[in-house]
Amino acid sequence: MPTLTLHPGRDKSLRNRHPWVFSGAVARVDRSARDGDVVEVHAADGRWLARGYLNRRSQIQVRLLTWDPDEAIDGGFWRRRLERALAGRAALAADGRTTAYRLVHAESDGLPGLVVDRYGDWLAVQALTLGIEQVKPLIAALLAELCRPAGIVERSDVDVREKEGLPPHVGVLHGRAPAGPVEVLEHGLRFWVDLMAGQKTGFYLDQRENRRRVAAYCAGGEVLNAFSYTGGFAVYALAAGARRVVNLDSSAEALALAERNLALNGFDPAAQAEAVAGDVFTVLREWRAAGRRFDAVVLDPPKFAHTQAQVERAARAYKDINLLAMQLLRPGGVLATFSCSGLVSADLFQKIVFAAAVDAGRDAQVLERLSQGPDHPVLLTFPEGEYLKGLLCRVW
């Protein structure tokens, strides 16, 4: 097996089982090593540290797979890791009321670069790295055997693949593609998910627990669901007794599916909901000027910061929408505000929401701090895996 040797003093994070080796830490790589293949990672003094797959095109040159010198990266390895990830989700699916959840959360499940989501009888896979791209057929065969799905689709149409030198790809890895949107359950609520063309792998599974917790504050009220996508928070809010919901999103396709999701759960989209296609920054300004008010506002924007250089601009954008949302809230109303930018820490996010409250001249109390659901676990050795943060605030 080819060897990769680190610079002196660059082995600490590996000893702490952090799964990434950055290019700056690498002193040399054997000539025989090919990108995508497994390499042995050695400290500068020659001591064996760990084993992982290589890609010199990426800033992250190695993603580590094992710290056990006796553990080979073979079929048995991938099977054991998949079985462990599946076992970790068993409790989530036990009552049969939730059929959509993340089965494999990449690094956090010891499977760097691999995401697998379950949607009822179907699986959706993302191969984010060259190392995973190379074992994709094996992973698909193991998933087929372990999960017995009707089909496994691939949704590797993500920008991060560029950094690995890979083109985007969408296709079918096993069985057949679903004929249209697939019906799934979350806490007994029903949703249509478009695996082939929806955002991400079709649904924002990381918000499942938050949808339920936010809904508990929506009974009797009028709820603005900003960045609604297919209406997840709206369906939960109505199920919890909200009087009316407004779904606001820039995507007409997402709003169309949101209407179908409301109807699927027995709600009347005409009487109990409103769908508004538009830009949140613009529409909230218009409504503020027009004196429109709500009892609860959900702000679940897309990732605003993709690089460190974008964090400052992202912070301004978060502050802008949070200020607007607070100004649209009736006194005593509830704001559920999220950031899925990993580069914006929970601490920074709280400071941004604080600044918005000060500018709005409103008292905001944190009632709950929210994070990603338990099917998106955070490995203690890989804090980067924690990306979603939210504050549930009462605003006076």
Which residues contact ligand SAH (rule: CB under 6 A)?
199, 204, 207, 227-230, 232-233, 249-251, 254, 279-281, 300-302
Cβ nearer to ligand SAH, comparing 135 with 317: 317
48-54 and 38-42 strand pairing: antiparallel
The first and second tokens of residue 329, run together, are: 């809230």
For the chain, helix (H) and strand (E) counts, in that order, are: 11, 20
Cβ nearer to ligand SAH, comparing 40 with 320: 320
Least separation in angstroms between residue 208's CB and ligand SAH is 9
- What is the 8-class DSSP label of residue 37? S
- What is the 8-class DSSP label of residue 31? T
Close Cβ partners of 327 (under 8 Å, ≥ 6 residues apart): 288, 360, 362
Cα 274 to chain centroid, rounded: 27
Across 33-46, b (16+ Cβ under 10 Å) vs e yields bebbbbbbbbbeee
The first and second tokens of residue 110, run together, are: 């010891």
Cα 273 to chain centroid, rounded: 27
Taking the CA atoms of 379, 382, 384 and 385 in sequence, report the sign of the dihedral they define. negative
Cβ–Cβ under 8 Å, residues 194 and 181: yes
Cβ nearer to ligand SAH, comparing 227 with 318: 227
Cβ–Cβ under 8 Å, residues 204 and 148: no
Least separation in angstroms between residue 233's CB and ligand SAH is 5
In 242-383, beta strands by DSSP E: 244-249, 273-277, 294-299, 329-339, 364-371
Least separation in angstroms between residue 98's CB and ligand SAH is 15
Helix (H, G, I), strand (E, B) or coil at 347: helix
Catalytically active residues are 340
Cβ nearer to ligand SAH, comparing 98 with 230: 230
Cβ–Cβ under 8 Å, residues 260 and 268: no
What distance in Å separates the CA atoms of residue 204 and residue 386, rounded to the nearest whole number?
A: 15
Least separation in angstroms between residue 224's CB and ligand SAH is 12
Close Cβ partners of 116 (under 8 Å, ≥ 6 residues apart): 85, 102, 103, 104, 123, 124, 125, 126, 143
Least separation in angstroms between residue 168's CB and ligand SAH is 18
Helix (H, G, I), strand (E, B) or coil at 125: strand
Least separation in angstroms between residue 227's CB and ligand SAH is 4
Least separation in angstroms between residue 281's CB and ligand SAH is 6
- What is the 8-class DSSP label of residue 140? H
Cβ nearer to ligand SAH, comparing 48 with 281: 281
